[in-house]
Structure 1
Amino acid sequence: MKKTLFDTEFQRLTTEMVEVAFEYIGFNKEEVDGIYIYGSMEQGIFFYNVFYKINHQLVKKEKVNDVLTNKVDDSDKIIRALLSFGGEALMDLSDVFTDDSREVPTLLKMVYRPKTGGFNCDILYDPQYSDHETKTNTEGFNDWFNQEKQQQNN
């Protein structure tokens, strides 16, 4: 099966989004069970965020040092850089879909498991926020975090 330019660029950009999130926690394969990446691309608004499963505990990026043995630089400057890079990758990904005359997804939910190399990417195309008066990207991210946390506790 021939790999298209679209496939190559999609893989490159999703890999970059994972790598920047993995770099943030120091490429720590020993403690990190999962990296959860949320990428929203709806109505020209791009939103990238990430949370982690570290030492069997789900934490948002601001709280990784609460559970990591090997602490990382979690300064506002580093977090802003993480989110900015991820947002730029989402914009580039949107262009890849558009350039290939494909519908741009509204949401990507990616999970990378460093210990096994496992990767999953759920792609949604239905409106997530634009058809709601009050729902926001941040709420969608928090909902996913809370769903994963609830599943972990069951």
Structure 2
Amino acid sequence: MKKILDNLRNKFSPKSFESSFEKLTKELAELCFEYVDYDSQNVEKIFIFCSTELDTIWFNTFYKINSRIVKKHKVGDRFNANDEKQILLNKEANKIIQKLIQNFKLHSKDLPSDFKIIYEIEGSKFDCKMSYEPKMEINPDITLHTICDEWIDMEKSK
């Protein structure tokens, strides 16, 4: 009986913020790794950008493959990065981002305007930076593509 009650408590009690956040960011990285067929021989890093600014959800990912920074639509023919696969990736990523947002709300945490997640394949290392300052509200010339492209350019220059 105690085991049944413990299972019910675990099922219905909210997880800690950190535990849920970690689980969801790992799901996001796993989804992006699946997109490149779990190729740990060539894929070195996965970069994930998520924005929640202006009450929207926006997602993009790019990769470091064989020492080159590559956008998701240019990962190469061997990964079959067709439009359908990209749409599915975005759809599934948006579902995970919605869960991330709910986690922030559930635990009464301030929601960042954007997340930058880096996952290094070798060693399974995560790095997540969150920004709380709005960028597009301050400067209407800035778009989500601009923000992500600046990050891509910064990584290329390293």
Fold conserved between structures, TM > 0.5:
yes
TM-score, reference length from structure 1:
0.89
Matched residue of 2:157: which SS?
A: helix
Match of 1:80 among 73, 79, 87: 87
Distance 1:97 1:77 in 2: 31
**1:23-42 to 2 correspondence within 5 Å?**
23-42=34-53
Match of 2:58 among 38, 43, 47: 47
Give the partner amino acid of 2:63: Y
Structure 1: tracts of 5 or more residues without a match? none
Shift, 1:63, TM fit: 0.9
Please say which structure displays the higher CA radius of gyration: 2
What percentage of aligned pairs have identical amino acids? 29
Matched residue of 1:81: which SS?
A: helix
Give the partner amino acid of 1:34: K
CA-atom RMSD in angstroms: 1.2
Distance 2:68 2:99 in 1: 32
Give the partner amino acid of 1:43: L
Residue matched to 2:8: none
Shift, 1:116, TM fit: 2.0
TM-score, reference length from structure 2:
0.87
Give the partner amino acid of 2:98: M
Aligned length: 144
Structure 2: tracts of 5 or more residues without a match? 1-14
Runs of 4+ in structure 1 displaced over 6 angstroms? none
Please identify which structure carries the higher helix content. Answer: 2
Residue matched to 2:5: none
Distance 1:141 1:78 in 2: 20
Residue matched to 1:148: 155
Shift, 1:82, TM fit: 0.6
1:136 corresponds to 2:143: yes
Give the partner amino acid of 1:97: F
Distance 1:133 1:118 in 2: 35
Residue matched to 1:92: 99
Matched residue of 1:112: which SS?
A: strand
Distance 2:25 2:129 in 1: 12
Query: For each residue in 1:82-106, what CA deviation from the matched residue of structure 2 results, as whole angstroms up to 9, or x when unmatched?
Result: 1111122112111110111110011
1:18 corresponds to 2:29: yes
Matched residue of 1:43: which SS?
A: helix
